[in-house]
Chains A and B, each alone.
Chain A
Amino acid sequence: MQMVKNILLIIATLWFAILLFMPKVDLYYSLENKLVKKGIVINEKSIDESVFSLSLKESDIYAEGINLVKLNKINIFTLLFYSSINVNGINIDESLKSFIPVTVEKLIASHSILSPRKVFITIVGNFGVADGIVDLKKKIIRLDFSDTNELNNLKKQLKKDKKGWYYEKSF
């Protein structure tokens, strides 16, 4: 019993130490540097670090030098076995309004060790709510627009099945 307790204590200490000393800002900067090679630049006004999370405020996302998206707040949270990204206030450039909704209130992406090959997504916008999955094994994104108001021009990008309108793309 004592042995089990000791092992649990070591695992808990390891887990906490990894999170506590994780250079979250530098990890984020490394991600920024990798994205640059794909033509994507993220500029943020401020970065706040805490034990379990990293918050970015007023971020601008540039694709090939074009400022396409403005994000009010991004919160990256991790417990290692469960991670999530919360994005609030997504404003997409007006020129893309014929493709996608230009204002999205919230985007939540979460990943759990219980389903390691899936990322669950929820998007809340003026179109309603869309729930979906990114299947990392099959390399497919699927978003179901089940609880929706007006899809308008978004329908051009969607398909329809028994459940309703959905978006699907492989990557």
Chain B
Amino acid sequence: MKNPFKLKIFKNVIVILVIFVLIKLLWVVADTLWLSSYGVEHKKEVGGKGLYYRVKLSTNKAPPPPKVEPKKIIKIAGNIKEIKLKAIYSSDESTVVTIVYKQKTKILGLGDTINGFTLNGGGSNYAIFVKNSKNYRVELEESKKSKNIYNSIKFSKDTTKKIENKSTPSLPDGEIIDAGDHKIIDKSLIEYYTKDIDSIYKNIGIKDLKKDNIVNGFMITFVRRGTPFAKLGLKRGDILKAINGRQLNSYKAAFDAYKNALNMSNVTLVIERKKEEMELEYEVN
């Protein structure tokens, strides 16, 4: 009589099962001893909300009603072709302009004169000069120019090569104006540098400072002369501690500040210089 139960197949099945059990056991041991059963969740940083505006403290007195003055109608005698308006800061109290005259850049305040033309005021995109009791209007050169420069740097093959060969990279057009207690930054500058992070590192060196493996500010290792970064008042050895009330105690804090730079209308920078903390105030216009 033929045996229906094949011993050979049974043996093979037993061998396979033994291997399965052994491998499973080995994996369980390895899993228990060396592997982790939980992943890592990214913790969202809880930090103070950035103060992206300046608060002016005043007495409790109610503000006086605004005076409504009749608008002065200024008769414009013509344009001045030899003066090119590069940047303007204009408020009720003051007007500061950056102009180019005979290929030289100059900064003028109210009442300053150039070639007989006296700065008399301005608007958001123009300046008014007076000469011989006649008013002359100078329009702000459109920011398109700076955008075109940026595009040509990035995309034009020929220009890219030329710029790469130059030892000094071209600088953006915007100006930084010193207004006494604070500095006024042309927004086009911030637009330029937020679009091209590479150009920041060519002009300023920033290194993280760590204490017990935790970021404790960012040190400036160099500032290229004549660049907007130098005009900001930053010096080699300064430690950036906070920006708009937010401590720069992580890479994320610094990166967030960089990413939000375009939305900031006022910037307060806390720095440590020669072991003393000081604040640098900026207005973005």
Contacts and interface: CB of A to CB of B under 8 A. Distances in A.
A60 interface: yes
B5 interface: no
A14 interface: yes
A65 B47 CA distance: 13
Contact of A33 (B30, B40, B155): B40
Interface string B243-275: 000000011100100110000000000000000
Interface stretch (B16-24, B75-83, B124-132, B165-173): B16-24
Interface string A55-87: 000001011111100000000000000000000
A26 B35 contact: yes
A152 B15 contact: no
A66 B252 contact: yes
Interface size on A, as a range, is 35 or more
A41 B36 contact: no
Contact of B19 (A14, A35, A43, A98): A14
Contacts of A171: none
Contact of A98 (B22, B37, B198, B259): B198
B45 interface: yes
A107 B252 CA distance: 27
A62 B44 CA distance: 11
Contacts of B155: 152
Interface string B209-222: 00000000000000
A140 interface: no
B54 interface: no
Interface residues of B, number: 35
B10 interface: no
Given A17-B24, A95-B255, A156-B198, A23 B40 contact: no
Contact of A26 (B16, B37, B41): B37
A29 B37 contact: yes
Contacts of B195: 98
A64 B251 contact: yes
B157 to A, nearest CB: 9
Q: Which of A14, A18, A26 has the most CB of B within 10 A?
A: A26
A42 B154 CA distance: 32
A116 B154 CA distance: 40
A110 to B, nearest CB: 24
Interface of A: 9-10, 13-14, 17-18, 20-23, 26-30, 32-33, 35-36, 41-44, 60, 62-67, 95-96, 98-99, 152-153, 155-156
Given A30-B36, A43-B42, 18 more contacts: A9-B15, A17-B19, A18-B23, A20-B20, A21-B24, A23-B30, A23-B35, A29-B39, A29-B40, A30-B35, A41-B42, A42-B40, A43-B41, A60-B42, A65-B45, A67-B42, A98-B197, A155-B160
